[in-house]
Amino acid sequence: MDFTVASYAVWRAGVAAGTVAKPDVSFIPPLERRRLTGVERAALAVAWQVRPEGEVPVVFASRWGEIGVTVKLMTQFHADREMSPAGFSASVHNAAPGAFSLLTRNHAPYTAIAARERSLEAGLLEALTQGVAVVGRAAVAGRPPYRGAVVFVFAEEATPAFYAPAFGPLQPACALAVRLEPGGPCRADFRSAECSPVSFDAADAFFSGRADALEAASFTLRRA
C-alpha cells in the first residue's frame, strides 16, 4: 500500500520558562475549552493542525485513554459510593475523537482503539487499512467507495502516580496526529512477525522525516 504523509503534528509535555507546557487549544471557544480533559486537549491540539478541508475518517488510539478521569471517578466512588455523571461521560475511550467530530462538524466515521503497549501500532494499522474498511461498509450500504485521507491521532496523558507500582516508569503526556492520503512516496508492507511495540519516539521520527523506516509487528513503513 502506497501512501503520503500529507500533514503531521506532534506535542510533548515539557517545562518551559518554569511552567508546564500545555497543548495549544486556543482555537476552541473558552466555554468548551474549560470542559476538556487532558487527553482531549492533547489530541485536539495536534488533530486540529492536520485536519483537511471537508470530512475525513478519524482513528484515535490510546493505551489507557482518560485514565486521570477514571482514577478520580474510582476515588469518588470509593469515598462517596457515587460517581459524577459528567465525569463518567468524559471517561469513555472515544471522548477525544467525539470532541473532534463536534468541533469540526465532521460526520465521517471515527474509531477508538486501545491495545495496551501496542495501541499506537494497532491504531496506525487501522488507519492504514481504513480505506478498505470504509469501502466494504460503503458497498453494503450502497454508497460510493471512500478513497481519501484518514486522520490518525495517538494521545496519552501523564500516567497517574497511583499506578506507578503496576505500570513501571511513568509515561509523560504526549500526542501525535498524521493525515495519510493514498498514493505517494511511502509504502506499507503488512506482515506478521515478532517485534517490540512501536514507541512514540520511533513514530515521531518517521512521520517527521527523521527516519526512513518504521518497523512494527504487523507492518513495515518505508519512505522512498
pLDDT tens digits in sequence order for the chain, 224 residues long: 889 999 999 999 875 555 557 899 999 999 888 888 889 999 999 999 999 988 999 999 998 888 887 788 788 778 877 777 766 666 788 889 999 999 999 999 999 999 988 999 999 999 998 754 444 444 445 555 556 899 999 999 888 777 778 777 777 899 999 999 988 899 999 887 788 899 999 999 999 999 999 999 999 999 98
Alpha-carbon distance 220 to 67, whole Å?
Answer: 30
* Half-sphere exposure for 208 (CA within 13 Å, toward CB): 11
Q: Going along the chain, which residue ranges are E strands?
A: 2-12, 15-16, 19-20, 58-61, 110-113, 150-156, 174-182, 186-190, 213-215, 219-223
Taking the C-alpha atoms of 188, 201, 175 and 62 in order, what is their torsion angle to the nearest 10 degrees?
70
Q: Which of 133, 100, 91, 93 is nearest to 116 (CA)?
A: 93
State the pLDDT at residue 141.
Answer: 53
Residue 93 is placed in which grid cell? 475511550
Domain limits, the chain: 10-177
State the pLDDT at residue 126.
Answer: 93
Selected from 3.40.47.10, 1.20.1250.20, 3.40.50.300, 3.20.20.70, the CATH number assigned to the domain covering 10-177 reads: 3.40.47.10
Alpha-carbon distance 75 to 136, whole Å?
Answer: 43
Count of beta carbons in the 10 Å neighbourhood of residue 194: 5
